[in-house]
Structure 1
Amino acid sequence: MFTGISEELGKVISFKNMGRHVEIEIECEKVLENTKIGDSIMTDGVCLTVKEINDNSYKADIMEESLKMTKFDISILNKKVNLERAMRLSDRLDGHIVQGHVDGVGKIKKIVENVFTIECNDYIQNLVVKKGSISLDGISLTVSGDNFNNFSVSLIPETFYKTNFKYKKVGDKINIETDIIQRFIQKSITKKERLDKNFLLENGF
Structure 2
Amino acid sequence: MFTGIVEELGEVTAVETLGDASRYRLRGPLVTQGARHGDSIAVNGVCLTVVDVEGDEFTADVMAETLNRSSLAALAVGSPVNLERPTPVGGRLGGHIVQGHVDSVGTVLERKTSEHWEIVRIGLPVPAARYVVEKGSITVDGISLTVVDAGPDYFTVSLIPTTLALTTLGTKQPGDPVNLEVDVIAKYVERLLATRDTATRDTAPLTAAGAQDGAPRPEGSTR
Q: Same fold (TM over 0.5)?
A: yes
Distance (whole Å) between structure 1 residues aligned to residue 48 and residue 75 of structure 2 = 18
Separation in 1 of the partners of 2:125 and 2:68?
A: 15
> Which stretch of the first structure deviates more once superposed, 66-75 or 82-91?
66-75
1:100 Cα deviation from its structure 2 partner: 0.3
Gaps of 5+ in 2: 199-223
Query: Within 2, Cα distance between the matches of 1:193 and 1:99?
Result: 27
Q: Does 1:77 align with 2:88?
A: no
Structure 1: 5+ residue runs without aligned partners?
A: 195-205
- Aligned Cα RMSD in Å? 1.4
2:191 and 2:80 map into 1 onto residues whose CA distance is 35
* Residue 188 of structure 1: how far off its partner (Å): 2.3
- Could you say what secondary structure the match of 2:88 adopts? coil
Alpha-carbon distance between aligned partners in 2 of 1:87 and 1:75, rounded to the nearest angstrom: 25
Instruction: Say if 2:39 and 2:50, in contact at 8 Å, map to a contact too.
Output: yes
Amino acid at match of 1:55: G
Other-structure match for 2:40: 40
Is the counterpart of residue 150 in structure 1 residue 120 in structure 2?
A: no
Q: Distance in 2 between matches of 1:151 and 1:74?
A: 23
Inter-partner Cα distance in structure 1 for 2:194 and 2:179: 25
What is the rounded CA distance, in whole Å, between the counterparts of 1:74 and 1:13 in structure 2?
A: 14
Equivalent pairs counted in the alignment come to 194
Q: Which has the higher contact order (CA 8 A, sep 6+)?
A: 1
Aligned counterparts, 1:117-128, within 5 A: 117-128=121-132
Give 1:74 shift: 4.4
Residue identity opposite 2:17 in structure 1: N
Aligned to 1:200: none
What SS does the corresponding residue of 2:175 show, helix, strand or coil?
Answer: coil
Q: 2: distance between equivalents of 1:76 and 1:179?
A: 29
With normalisation by structure 2, the TM-score equals 0.83
Give per-residue Cα distances to partners, 1:40-59, cap 9 Å, x unaligned. Answer: 00000000000010112100
Instruction: Look up the equivalent residue of 2:181 and give its one-letter code.
Output: E
8 Å CA contact retained: 2:138, 2:181: yes
TM-score, normalised with respect to structure 1: 0.90
Instruction: Tell me the amino acid that sits aligned with residue 51 of structure 1.
Output: V
The 3-state SS of whatever aligns with 1:78 is coil
Distance apart, 1:20 and its partner CA = 2.0
Q: Which residue, 179, 182, 188 being the options, matches 2:186?
A: 182
Residue 191 of structure 1 pairs with residue 182 of structure 2: no
**Cα pair distance change 1:68/1:102, threshold 3 Å:** same
Q: CA deviation at 1:126?
A: 1.3
How far has the Cα of 1:69 moved from its partner?
0.6
Structure 1 contact 39–49 (Cα < 8 Å) conserved? yes
Bigger Cα Rg = 2
User: What's the offset of the Cα at 1:155?
Assistant: 1.3
Structure 1 distance, partners of 2:154, 2:97, is 22
**Matched residues in 2 for 1:191 and 1:75: separation?**
39
Alignment match, 1:165: 169
Q: 1:74 to 1:146 in 2, by over 3 A?
A: closer
Could you tell me which residue of structure 1 aligns to residue 96 of structure 2? 96
| Percentage identity across paired residues of the two chains | 38
Three-state SS of the structure 1 residue aligned to 2:31 is helix
Matched, 1:52 2:52: yes
In 2: Cα distance, 1:20 partner to 1:190 partner: 36
Encode CA deviations 1:25-49: one digit per residue, 9 max, x unaligned.
1012000111111100000000000
